[in-house]
Structure 1
């Protein structure tokens, strides 16, 4: 595929403007005049056919298209710097913006406690950490690393590395069970209030496996459907129903007796926690440093 000769024109100037917050300061940083800076950004917008910046007499702000383009441009510049360092033999310290997406419960329980150690070890990396339970498209959403928890990862051209293994537990509060009874078999769930996790492909289908290895599917009617496991736990503690979450989402609810396990004699589905990233080849130093750090701190 032929590369347009002006494909990269304006990118460095645009990044300078966004980071500086004004054309004037970007001009000071880059050594160009303010009018040159303005013309370069205007030419870039004209070539792309979109507005990248909202301009007022007092401030600049990114449009949604500008925000996405800015993230990609930063990565292009960092990749170019690393390519140059590789050629001239420099092993530069990992640096730049590192965008990570992680499920809320795993982020709070496992990633959050180790972040200060990572930032102290790599002070030139600026972390952009998105805690979100929705499924992230790593490429189109512009992330460097996505952490996912799943029984099975979907086939993908992306690279995945398993951090650890957890298990899914069916839980309820003692108060709920005292009022509504303890289900003796998964099929008994049709007589109970169920709190389900909506980000699953089939949130109303719960899979179970007995000690003989035989699997059954149980259709549950959701009393509450939510995309957040922390809310599931809070509702469960408040005697609102039976729910299923990974063990890593819990704090000390089982130890204190705030929640109790239901169907403890049934096999528990295994949930893998993975880091997903685009490629092992030409991996940036910031991405490699994060992956190695997480495996060292949290990997089984």
Structure 2
């Protein structure tokens, strides 16, 4: 009884009853990018939006937004507060949806990040099917090979291909697997020779993927299936697999890429697969999303479709 009484007393205090005042207006302002756009989105006047932000800053005792006549930007404190507020608003919208089962249709903006190499052949058909089935969802796609922060960058789901995921509190669900190959053009092999063991790569020109944690150390399996690392000599560091492939095809070096990034070149016989007598390491493809007890309908529908499509789609 004591804890319940204390909780009731705390909730009835003036401070806590105003805990969420201005949060929705603040997140809408940042999402809209201007006071005018936020006013139009909420149906309020710009003066109302401004007053709500002023009251929020006064209550928190910090400045959240730097304002100029033409733009607005978040202060460091404002950025931290915004990241938390976005989650609060999303959770509130989800809770409201749970109370209204007829509103469980996927809707709203779905923010997805995916590597460029996976976007066309793999992701595009799935997105096309998703958009046809859920027309009330607006897709915001970030097709980029850079490493993103799912929470801070505001993504609902991130698709990543990797040999091994880093430890994280995020939910990681494997959707498919493929093989990674070390390749070179036939012109390169003719000019520089073909290495017979991964350790010989340090004597060759190699094209390295800079987004890896150790881009100049390539992982292999020996003939007994044991993992070992080979140090390579980089003639180029690049954060885009398409560029790596193009440079390899032009004979500028040896690269190591997942098969799905270069399947047409392999099928056309334009690349020689090196170390073919060694076991080829797997590259797993995951969908990564924030750890939440209840996923929003749009995220759940997207993940379900990924899993459904991937069950009949295998990477080479």
Question: Structure 1 length as normaliser, TM-score?
Answer: 0.86
How is 1:197-276 mapped onto 2 (pairs within 5 angstroms)? 197-276=209-288
- Runs of 5+ in structure 1 lacking a partner? none
- Return the alpha-carbon distance in structure 1 between the equivalents of residues 209 and 185 of structure 2: 18
- Return the alpha-carbon distance in structure 2 between the equivalents of residues 19 and 87 of structure 1: 26
1:167 aligned counterpart, secondary structure: strand
Deviates more, 1:17-26 or 1:242-251: 17-26
Relative to structure 1, the CA distance from residue 9 to residue 196 in structure 2 (aligned partners, 3 Å threshold; closer, same or farther) is: same
Contact 1:109 1:249 (8 Å CA) reproduced:
no
- Return the alpha-carbon distance in structure 2 between the equivalents of residues 69 and 110 of structure 1: 36
* Pairing 1:186–2:201 present: no
**CA-to-partner distance for each residue in 1:11-31, whole Å, 9 max, x for gaps?**
222345456665456556645
Displacement of 1:61 after TM fit? 5.0
Counterpart for residue 143 of structure 1:
155
How is 1:80-95 mapped onto 2 (pairs within 5 angstroms)? 80-95=92-107
Question: Structure 2 length as normaliser, TM-score?
Answer: 0.82
**CA-to-partner distance for each residue in 1:220-256, whole Å, 9 max, x for gaps?**
1111112221111111011100010111112400111
**CA-to-partner distance for each residue in 1:119-166, whole Å, 9 max, x for gaps?**
222222222222232322222222221222222222322211111001
Contact 1:97 1:127 (8 Å CA) reproduced:
yes
Displacement of 1:112 after TM fit? 2.6
**CA-to-partner distance for each residue in 1:16-69, whole Å, 9 max, x for gaps?**
54566654565566454442222112333453734436443xx55554867886
Displacement of 1:104 after TM fit? 2.2
Relative to structure 1, the CA distance from residue 100 to residue 67 in structure 2 (aligned partners, 3 Å threshold; closer, same or farther) is: farther
- Return the alpha-carbon distance in structure 2 between the equivalents of residues 160 and 261 of structure 1: 31
Deviates more, 1:130-139 or 1:235-244: 130-139
Contact 1:168 1:269 (8 Å CA) reproduced:
yes
Match of 2:50 among 38, 51, 60: 38
